[in-house]
Amino acid sequence: MRIRPSHLAATALASLLAFNNAWADEVQVAVAANFTAPIQAIAKNFEKDTGHKLVAAYGATGQFYTQIKNGAPFEVFLAADDSTPAKLEQEKAIVPGSRFTYAIGTLALWSATPGYVDANGEVLKKNQFKHLSIANPKTAPYGLAATQVLDKLKLTETTKPKLVEGQNITQAFQFVSTGNAELGFVALSQIYKDGKVESGSAWIVPSSLHEPIRQDAVILEKGKDNPAAKALVDYLKGPKAAAVIKSYGYEI
């Protein structure tokens, strides 16, 4: 029987894929809601380049901390702050030496309506809106940053009756995008791609108005023996991931 070259190539490819899959692992990742779009883009490259599969859950950093302490099966944690990973490190709940800053976040005041938010955020001082959306400042670092901005601008009391609070930054964004709030504080990464705000109008909040939003990642205790967990952390430190992270308005 004569074997066609194409058949040989197909057989070789199948063998190679089987070999790669034998070494591939899955990593369970808890991801701060503001980092949803970047990690989805990074995951595609990560899986293509390493063969490992990334399975992500998205939510508020404070809520993830509670879940992790209660035994949730997460192996890597991408937080929206640096204090929560540091706390887990002190509690010996992470792989020693695995904590690092993967991104520095930027806060934005955003409206889905073009022209509604001016470039200097004066719309806040005019106080002619009915609802202002923020994430829960107790569990979401971007929500905490939003309250710090309002304090710095001496607008806490005047805006307090108008606040609409989301469980996390995704929900805060949804309140604005659906029109339930005229404007709100969101993560720049939710509205920004490749150097521009994609829709609506926004004020990129100066970092001097709030504490730095340093976002740290750690390998959790449950991921200490998973090669895919270490591979992901290493990948996040590499140039491909850095390019994606920067394209969403984060600093490295």
Domains of the chain by range and CATH? 5-104+213-247 (3.40.190.10), 107-204 (3.40.190.10)
Question: Do the beta carbons of residue 32 and residue 80 sit within 8 Å?
Answer: yes
Q: Give the SS3 label for residue 117.
A: coil
**Residues 6 or more apart in contact with residue 14 via CB below 8 angstroms:** none
The whole-number pLDDT of residue 27 equals: 98
pTM for the model stands at 0.81
Question: Do the beta carbons of residue 218 and residue 89 sit within 8 Å?
Answer: yes
**Residues 6 or more apart in contact with residue 173 via CB below 8 angstroms:** 110, 133, 166, 184, 186, 187, 190, 191
Q: Cα–chain-centroid distance for residue 137? A: 16
Mean pLDDT of the chain: 91
pLDDT band at 196 (very low <50, low <70, confident <90, very high): confident
Cα–Cα distance measured from residue 95 to residue 89, given in angstroms and rounded to the nearest whole number: 8
pLDDT digits (tens, 9 = 90+) for 113-137: 999 999 999 999 999 999 999 999 9
